[in-house]
Chains A and B, each alone.
Chain A
Amino acid sequence: AQSVAQPEDQVNVAEGNPLTVKCTYSVSGNPYLFWYVQYPNRGLQFLLKYITGDNLVKGSYGFEAEFNKSQTSFHLKKPSALVSDSALYFCAVRGFSGYALNFGKGTSLLVTP
């Protein structure tokens, strides 16, 4: 079985500061890892994914994530946060076989001016 954990319910960051949203995973074999963002009353929007190759993945809106196999982590990062980045962020994992995404509980990001 595969799963992800998002240890922080909420992350608070001042605008212009770097942000990190943490995610760790558990999966048999090589993982496929995803980050999605959810704004109020809207569906999930895809940010980025890791399949294989370079451990640093770049995605939409200036976000990037670093895959760390030894630490089984896939933390989401952005060098300079914007107030408009405030939203709910979900990490998800998919195993080598199967098609379902297994999501974490989500981390609420609040960026203050």
Chain B
Amino acid sequence: GAGVSQTPSNKVTEKGKYVELRCDPISGHTALYWYRQSLGQGPEFLIYFQGTGAADDSGLPNDRFFAVRPEGSVSTLKIQRTERGDSAVYLCASSPGVASGGPETQYFGPGTRLLVL
């Protein structure tokens, strides 16, 4: 597609349930990022993938959060035993992933709005 896409656009779940959020990056982009945006705040970094591997997962808040990117394209963010505090907009971004490691522009998807009741 032309841009980063994320599904679902909205997700309502109950406390304690498991959820999966999907991200389709821009075609050909090897770098993929997940951010979380709470109400009234700027996005906060969660995890960065280069290809299939998680190059930096320092932003994941705890071990209930996990992300995969098995084929180096689509990524899934998984949240176990959801808590009300997990309610936020989860944003995915991608960039070309040029080997030089320069400050590439990250292109964001529309986000998934997660509400934990």
Does B55 belong to the interface (CB within 8 Å)? Answer: yes
Partner pick for A101 among B4, B106, B109, CB 8 A cutoff: B106
Known contacts A43-B109, A44-B91, A100 near B42 by CB under 8 Å: no
The bracket for how many chain B residues form the interface is 20 to 34
Q: Are B44 and A36 in contact (CB under 8 A)?
A: no
- Interface 1/0s, chain A 91-113, versus B by CB < 8 A? 01010001111111110000000
Tell whether, in the assembled complex, residue A44 and residue B102 are in contact, meaning their CB atoms are under 8 Å apart.
Answer: no
Interface residues of B in 29-59 (CB under 8 A from A): 31, 33, 35, 40-45, 48, 55-56, 58-59
Among B85-115, those with CB < 8 Å from A are 91, 93, 102-103, 105-111
Within 8 A of B (CB), among A42-60: 42-46, 49, 51
- In Å, the complex CA distance between A42 and B107 comes to 12
With A32-B103, A90-B43, A94-B103 as given contacts, are A99 and B4 in contact (CB-CB < 8 Å)?
Answer: no
Instruction: Give the docked Cα–Cα distance between A102 and B35 (Å).
Output: 10
Are A46 and B42 interface neighbours, CB within 8 A?
no
Q: A100-B48, A101-B45 are in contact. Are A43 and B105 (CB under 8 A)?
A: no
How long is the Cα–Cα vector from A42 to B5 in the complex, in angstroms?
Answer: 11
- Complex Cα distance, B106 from A98, in Å, reads 13
Given A36-B108, A98-B56, A43 contacting B91 (CB threshold 8 A): yes
Q: With a CB–CB cut-off of 8 A, which chain A residues contact B48? A: 99-100
**Contact: A44 with B43, CB < 8 Å?**
yes
In-complex Cβ contact of B42 among A42, A45, A106 (8 A): A106
Considering the complex, give the chain B residue whose CB is closest to the CB of A102: B45
Enumerate chain B residues within 8 angstroms of A44, measured Cβ to Cβ: 43, 91, 93, 108
* Cα of A90 to Cα of B91 in the assembled complex, Å: 14
Question: Hey, which chain A residues are within 8 Å of B111, CB to CB?
Answer: 43
Q: Can you spell out 6 A-B residue pairs with CB atoms less than 8 angstroms apart?
A: A36-B108, A44-B93, A51-B102, A90-B43, A94-B103, A99-B33
